[in-house]
Structure 1
Amino acid sequence: MQDVDHVEQTDEAGSPSPRAADWFWRPWYAKLYWVTALLYWIGLEIMITIPYDRINTSVATAMVLLIFIFNPITVVAVLGYGFLKAKVSCGEWVITRGQPSQTPTMDPYTDPFDARSGFRHLRHLGVIKD
């Protein structure tokens, strides 16, 4: 007689699921990135308090351009790339292709980029009087 309440689960030899902390906090480059981002934002706060006539313009320009590198969203995107690859490689997440993009078919007589349309596409602007 079989025990129907007991279901044996077999765990396949797949790699374990990666944790986000392993990619966002533990590697040396992640720690370096977070520390430099913290120092950047502290330096930016200090620079804001300096009067405009005493600011070195090249340093100010560099600080403004570094906003793109040390933006928190950029930090998460850069450090999360390895995490995303690990999730996909362990089989938890699957990358699927989306549907092919379809451009809607337009009537050639109302398309402003079609030579056959004339000024009909401007009718709503009152260019052509009925």
Structure 2
Amino acid sequence: MEAAIDDQEPRSVSDQPRLAAWIWRPWYAKLWWTSIPIWWLGMAVATRVSSLEALYGSALAGYLDILFFPMTALMVLGVGYVRERLDGFVQPGDGTPLSDEEEEEALYRRRALEEHDRWAKRWRAGFDPADPRSGPLWIGNPLNPTNPGHINPHTGKFNAS
């Protein structure tokens, strides 16, 4: 088991992805960063030119303001960088099978999670007025078909009991 841990070599700082590679280098990033100041300069000019004022005052311009906001570009272009950084934390396994103890522990955890899910579903049913397992909440609920105040959603009439 120790050999598997020792086989993994630590990544050097130079192997880690650089943020600038994702935000500035791709062609679409360069195009986006170039169009941002052009958009905002056009908006400044639109205060003096009436023909541009109609464009920059439209609803489409509101959406383009968000598209050409520098923080939007930073967040969208940084997604690839964050994904690559997070992928760097996960190392590929060496393909060795689990030992008997590890397999038993994994089975125990899976069964414990399944039991917890069943318990949580039963617990939630006790507080759901539309679930018959909730007892008093179900008895007085107008959705209960045995309730005298039940209105059939298909016919719109009261229960005939």
Could you state the TM-score of these two structures normalised by the residue count of structure 1?
Answer: 0.53
Distance in 1 between residues matched to 2:86 and 2:39, nearest whole Å:
33
Query: Looking at both structures, which has the greater relative contact order when contacts are Cα pairs under 8 Å and sequence separation is at least 6?
Result: 1
Q: 1:11 to 1:38 in 2, by over 3 A?
A: farther
Q: Give the corresponding residue for 1:46.
A: 45
1:27 counterpart letter in structure 2: P
Per-residue deviation, 1:65 = 2.5
- Is residue 23–residue 82 contact of structure 1 (8 Å, CA) maintained in 2? yes
Runs of 4+, deviation exceeding 2 Å = 54-58, 62-65
Distance in 2 between residues matched to 1:31 and 1:78, nearest whole Å:
13
| Structure 2 residues not aligned, in runs of 5+ | 1-6, 91-161
Match of 2:9 among 12, 18, 28: 12
1:45 counterpart letter in structure 2: A
Per-residue deviation, 1:66 = 0.8
Distance in 2 between residues matched to 1:32 and 1:90, nearest whole Å:
28
Equivalent position SS for 1:50: coil
- Is residue 44–residue 63 contact of structure 1 (8 Å, CA) maintained in 2? no
Q: Give the corresponding residue for 2:77.
A: 79
- Aligned residues: percent identity? 32
Distance in 1 between residues matched to 2:28 and 2:52, nearest whole Å:
30
* 1:62-100 C-alpha deviation (Å, 9 max, x unpaired): 3333111111111111101001111111128xxxxxxxx
2:45 counterpart letter in structure 1: I
* 1:60-79 → structure 2 map (5 Å cutoff): 60=56, 61=58, 62-79=60-77
- Is residue 24–residue 30 contact of structure 1 (8 Å, CA) maintained in 2? yes
Larger Rg: 2
1:59 counterpart letter in structure 2: L
Q: Greater helix share, 1 or 2?
A: 2
* 1:12-38 C-alpha deviation (Å, 9 max, x unpaired): 275821011101111111101101112
1:12 counterpart letter in structure 2: E
Distance in 1 between residues matched to 2:83 and 2:21, nearest whole Å:
13
Q: 1:70 to 1:26 in 2, by over 3 A?
A: same
| Structure 1 residues not aligned, in runs of 5+ | 1-9, 93-130
| Root-mean-square deviation over aligned CA pairs | 3.9
Q: Give the paired residue count.
A: 96
